[in-house]
Amino acid sequence: MPRPAHETQTEPRVPKPSPTTGKQPIRAMLVGAPKAGTTSLYRYAAQHPAFCCHEQRELSYFFSDEEYSSGYDACMVKYFTKPNGGQTIPLAKHVFTMYCPEAIARLHKHNPDAHVFALLRNPIRRAYSSFWYAKRRGWDTAKTFEQAIERETDLTTDGWLKDRDRRHLHVGVYHPHIKRLIDTFGQRRVHVLLTDDLKDNAARLCQTLFQVTGVDPCFTPDLTKDHNTASAARSESAARAIAGVLKSKNPIKRATRKLIPHSLARRTRHALLSINEKPFTPPLMNMDTEKKLLDYFAPHNEKLANLIGRDLGAWNRGSQA
């Protein structure tokens, strides 16, 4: 199994200036983890009239060097189409922010009083879901989950975030990243939530988010719509081709950025992806694979449980129990 990614991470560089010119700073942000239900939680919370939210699934301003160097004004123009005046509060989401020391430092510099929310899922189920999602998007070419995690074992952890969409196990080692969040923002402003909480009582979870961010906690969002449901690529070769075109360094994408409005480009991207998708239910995980992963994640889960003061024993009893 691979070494946890945090073992080779370096300290963040000094953040570049990020002018706000009077714009309201982001008060609340969902910072992780991917494939844990963050899209659903964000879409539920985004219905609150006090929040100004982005239509894009992820706000990469703090994570992307290029976006951050453009300043907060450019971020507001790109992501927040609603007026950002009066009491409208920017609410943001980026699931890999908590894994990036520099992104955390930038967010803290931007607003040291921000509340950050980390939604965490059983790391075995999260890894399995991550693999199937990566295949759907053309990011992971492994034929099986077992091949994917075996390949991950051989990969270096140096600069792992550049290859984050294929690091299905690394992402589930939560403890060091949650600790870094707490060390940066303080225990009171870091809120660790579980996917099971979202499944059991999404309304209560939303009320918790509303209450700690200082908005009316009595607002009840519509919780009937599913978000980011499972599907598979109709053609894996087409998925890989689309993924290649959508890469940030692709010359075609870079050229069209200057010609096509961001909102139109986003809609076109989602249309392309939707055409190549079909309903899909992943098969059950191989029991031997699950046993190996139980052994791998157990010590990391124990550290996390001690840090956040929650019983995570169910994570160690088998994801299919």
In this model, does residue 283 exceed pLDDT 50? yes
Asked whether 31 and 98 are in contact (CB, 8 A), the reply is yes
Domain count along the chain: 2
In a domain, 6, yes or no: no
In a domain, 242, yes or no: yes
Which one has a higher pLDDT value, 178 or 321? 178
In this model, does residue 312 exceed pLDDT 60? yes
* pLDDT for the residue numbered 21: 40
In this model, does residue 125 exceed pLDDT 90? yes
Residues 99 and 36 in one domain: yes
Residue type, 116: V
In a domain, 188, yes or no: yes
Domain that holds residue 250: 231-280
Which one has a higher pLDDT value, 265 or 308? 308
In a domain, 16, yes or no: no
Residues 160 and 265 in one domain: no
Residues 147 and 274 in one domain: no
**Listed range (99-103, 142-146, 253-257) with the worst mean pLDDT:** 253-257
- Give the pLDDT band of residue 250 (cuts 50, 70, 90): low
In a domain, 309, yes or no: yes
Q: What residue has token string 């087409």? A: 238
In this model, does residue 263 exceed pLDDT 70? no
DSSP secondary structure code for residue 13 in this structure: P
Query: How confident is the model over 162-173, as a mean pLDDT?
Result: 94
- Rg, the chain, Cα only: 19
Q: Which two tokens stand for residue 155?
A: 């990969």
d(CA 138, CA 162): 16
Q: Which two tokens stand for residue 103?
A: 């992104």
In a domain, 298, yes or no: yes
* Element at 51 (helix H, strand E): strand 51-53
Asked whether 283 and 265 are in contact (CB, 8 A), the reply is no
* pLDDT for the residue numbered 84: 44
Measured in Å, how far apart are the chain's first and last C-alpha atoms? Answer: 23
Asked whether 21 and 72 are in contact (CB, 8 A), the reply is yes
In a domain, 147, yes or no: yes
The number of angstroms, rounded, from the C-alpha of 15 to the middle of its chain's C-alpha atoms is 21
In a domain, 174, yes or no: yes
ω into 202 cis (within 30 of 0): no
Residues 218 and 240 in one domain: no
d(CA 152, CA 9): 17
**Listed range (14-23, 55-64, 165-174, 212-221) with the worst mean pLDDT:** 14-23
* pLDDT for the residue numbered 233: 65
Q: Give the CA angle between residues 50, 71, 49 to the nearest 5°.
A: 5
Residues 34 and 123 in one domain: yes
- Give the pLDDT band of residue 297 (cuts 50, 70, 90): very high
